[in-house]
Amino acid sequence: MDYISKGILTSYGYGGIFDFSNEDNPFKDWSFIYLPYCTGDLFWEATDQTYETSSDTTTIRLRGHVNFQVALEWLKENYTVSPEKIFVTGISAGSYGAILNFPYIKQEFPEAEFYMLGDGGVGAVNTDFLNNGLPKWNVQIPDSTNLGSEDFTYFDGISLEELDLTKIYAAIAEYYHTTVFAQYTTAWDYHQTYYYNVMSNIDSTSDWVNVDDVRCEWNSIMDSNLTLLEASADTNNFKFEYFVAPGTAHTILMNSAFFTESSNGTSLLDWKNSLLDNNGAIESVYCVDCEKPSDVPNCD
């Protein structure tokens, strides 16, 4: 491991795939390139945003994609021979950065065997965010110009209002069809539900924590997004699978539960190892008893 030691990552209290002393960790001997999340833009943006209040004006430099590109340049300079395997992942907001920036990494290391997993980011957003929020971001879409590839044209001319996560996954996974793309979430992820509620009540901050009214709605969108992606994979011959675990927890890869999590009789660790084997054995898993919180109404 270069640049930052694995010991430093462990000292931060990270577990899961950062528990390098655990013999069950499939990544214990891998090198890591870790990008901290610091600009609140899903690693998508390259612009400045100015925010005004009654007493102040603040400019925030939202450069998540620029930060990613700096890390990619470092990776290219330090790995002049293509690594044998590259696992691209992101946790929570980072899961969105992982999928949209995947083509940039693949472009630089075309000979490597790739895997991709989004952890805790299923893309449940509302139309207001797509129509009014996202267009302000200056998202660095991997179209043929930005990517420098005449073949990758799916995002050419696409409007940001059309850029929902299912379309992003489907386009990228179909183009890089030898890679297994996957997502993990719990069925009642509280944090994802909270941010969906924020989008739904963007001008009423006092309502942001009152998530109960949207719990069923978020769960339904989550289910629909994953189901649509799996159906598209079957139709268009690309590889996409998901693992939906019971409960409300948010993300798993940095948690010790990574080694003990199971859903519908399938161990997450076994499922993850099947993904890395890339042998076609991986299948989607959806909890049967999904442990719906007692305060959530029936979602009929």
Whole-number pLDDT of residue 148: 86
d(CA 97, CA 89): 9
Cβ atoms of 27 and 15 closer than 8 Å: no
Within 8 A by CB and 6+ apart from 264, the residues are 285, 286, 287, 288
CATH number of 35-286: 3.40.50
Structure tokens belonging to residue 74: 């470092």
Res. 5: pLDDT tops 60: no
Average pLDDT over residues 176-201: 95
Helix (H, G, I), strand (E, B) or coil at 228: helix
* Domain regions of the chain by residue span: 35-286
Cβ atoms of 224 and 249 closer than 8 Å: no
Cβ atoms of 115 and 107 closer than 8 Å: no
Taking every pair of C-alpha atoms in the chain, what is the biggest distance, in angstroms? Answer: 59
Residues linked to residue 279 through DSSP beta bridges, in sequence order = none
d(CA 156, CA 206): 40
Within 8 A by CB and 6+ apart from 27, the residues are 17, 87
d(CA 185, CA 249): 8
Q: Which residue has the tokens 């990552």?
A: 9
Whole-number pLDDT of residue 135: 83
Average pLDDT over residues 176-196: 96
Mean pLDDT, the chain, as a whole number?
Answer: 90
d(CA 61, CA 39): 8
| DSSP result, 199-218 | HHTTT-GGGTT--GGGHHHH
Helix (H, G, I), strand (E, B) or coil at 71: helix
Q: What percent of the chain is predicted at pLDDT more than 90?
A: 68
Considering only residues 234 and 149, tell me which one the structure prediction assigns the higher pLDDT. Answer: 234
Within 8 A by CB and 6+ apart from 197, the residues are 207, 208, 210, 211, 213, 214, 218
Whole-number pLDDT of residue 142: 93
Report residue 280's pLDDT band, with 50, 70 and 90 as the boundaries.
low
Res. 4: pLDDT tops 60: no
Average pLDDT over residues 217-233: 96
Whole-number pLDDT of residue 71: 95
d(CA 277, CA 153): 30
Cβ atoms within 10 Å of 137's Cβ, excluding its own: 18
Whole-number pLDDT of residue 263: 97
Q: Tens digit of pLDDT for each residue in 74-130? A: 999 998 888 999 999 999 999 999 999 999 999 999 999 999 999 999 999 988 888
Count the residues in the chain: 300
Cβ atoms of 65 and 46 closer than 8 Å: yes
